[in-house]
Structure 1
Amino acid sequence: MSFKTALGLLLLAMVSMVAESSWGNGKGNSYNYDLSKMSDLTKLYNSKVYKAERMTRPLEGMSFQLGKLSHSGVRVTLADGTKWLVHKGDGYGISSQTVVVAARHMSNNWKIVEIKDFRGSKTVSDFVKAGGTDYKLLFDNCHDAAGRMMDS
């Protein structure tokens, strides 16, 4: 395994293991991991993305969306039919603010705003990389990250 691959796997391990609270209600830093084995993380990291859906939901505490007063992410569908949400937020991750979570944790407040067929040409890691590691409210937020993911 090359250094670049090992570094990528380490980054994914930190990014993929996410807390339910980090995308649900924004409270606390209690991490509840969906995937804990390195082999599962590696498989997810290298999984091909067939469909991507850019989605938005109201900000926490709000019952409506108004333009950028919302939260964005990209739900990806893999070859095996599983769905994962790749999204970015302040304090969402450990080593990166772009995280990958099982889509089953998503509330019914999320709405699809764009669909793209990637035909397996991109991997989950490509979406994480496009999201970026740092969060900046004005210049590198969830909307910017989701846009880059869909354009990649």
Structure 2
Amino acid sequence: MFSVQTLIVAALLAELGLVVESSFGEGARSYSFDLSNTSDLNRLYNSPVHRAVRMRRPLGSTSFQFGPLSHSGVKVTLRDGSTWLVHKGDGFGISSQTVVVDARHMSTSWQILETKDFRGTKTVGDFVRAGGSGYSLLFDNCHFGAGRMMDQ
């Protein structure tokens, strides 16, 4: 049987957006989870980040990017070599707009902007928190979130 603390942590991890947005409905979103059990979510959230790469890609289906007319995120590499994209957007998550996505979901249009070696001093959870739970197009968008992740 799970303790109350384990159940609370599991709920918080799910709420912090360890999800992949998979499709849009009429006013509703459906999500598919790369990780769904509590121990995998806990492990990912608490995993030390060894390398972080700030990246940018064109918005949506456009082929160009210019400053804020683009999308930013941070690809993190863990000790085991796995890579995850931490990024935010309006409606990306359930209660947090900063989400963690397996990097295999990234398109080839992402370009490297900055690389930083964190040497395991920060966790995936630290990156999610730095990204922020809210979203504002003008005051707290993906670019602001990615910048905070790299500046921590």
Q: Work out whether the TM-score is over 0.5.
A: yes
1:85–1:103 contact (8 Å) kept in structure 2: yes
Partner of 1:19: 21
The 1:2–1:54 alpha-carbon spacing in structure 2 relative to 1, beyond 3 Å, is farther
Percent of paired sites with the same residue: 64
The SS at the match of 2:31 is coil
The offset of 1:41, in angstroms, is 0.1
Code of the residue aligned with 1:109 in structure 2: it is: S
The 5 Å alignment of 1:118-137 reads: 118-137=118-137
* Contact 1:20 1:105 (8 Å CA) reproduced: no
Question: In the TM superposition, what is the alpha-carbon distance from 1:19 to its structure 2 partner?
Answer: 2.0
- By how many angstroms is 1:11 displaced? 2.5
d(CA) in 2 for partners of 1:122, 1:63 = 33
Distance 1:97 1:123 in 2: 18
Structure 1 alignment gaps of length 5 or more: 22-26
Q: Does 1:101 align with 2:101?
A: yes
For 2:20, what is the secondary structure of its paired residue?
Answer: coil
Task: Report the Cα distance in structure 1 between the residues aligned to 2:4 and 2:68, rounded to whole angstroms.
Answer: 40
- Tell me which residue corresponds to 1:24: none
Tell me if structure 2 keeps the 8 A contact 1:84–1:103: yes
Change (3 A) 1:141 1:120: same
| Deviation by residue 1:61-88 (Cα, 9 ceiling, x = unmatched) | 2101111100000000000000000000
Q: Which has the higher strand share?
A: 2
Classify 1:2/1:150 alpha carbon distance in 2 versus 1 (closer, same or farther; 3 Å): farther
| Compared CA separation, residues 91 and 66, structure 1 to 2 (3 A) | same
Q: Which has the larger radius of gyration?
A: 2
SS in 2 for 1:145: helix
> For residues 56 and 96 of structure 2, what CA distance do their matches in structure 1 show?
20
Please name the residue that 2:116 is paired with: 116
Relative to the length of structure 1, the TM-score reads: 0.89
Instruction: For 1:106 and 1:56, locate their aligned partners in 2 and report how far apart those are by CA, in whole Å.
Output: 11
**1:6 to 1:48, Cα distance in 2 relative to 1, 3 A:** farther
Superposition CA RMSD, Å: 1.8
Displacement of 1:20 after TM fit? 3.4
What residue number does 1:10 align with? 11
Aligned to 2:33: 33
2: CA distance, partners of 1:52 / 1:8: 25
Q: CA deviation at 1:9?
A: 4.5
Task: Return 5+ residue gaps in structure 2 as ranges.
Answer: none
Report how many residues are paired: 146
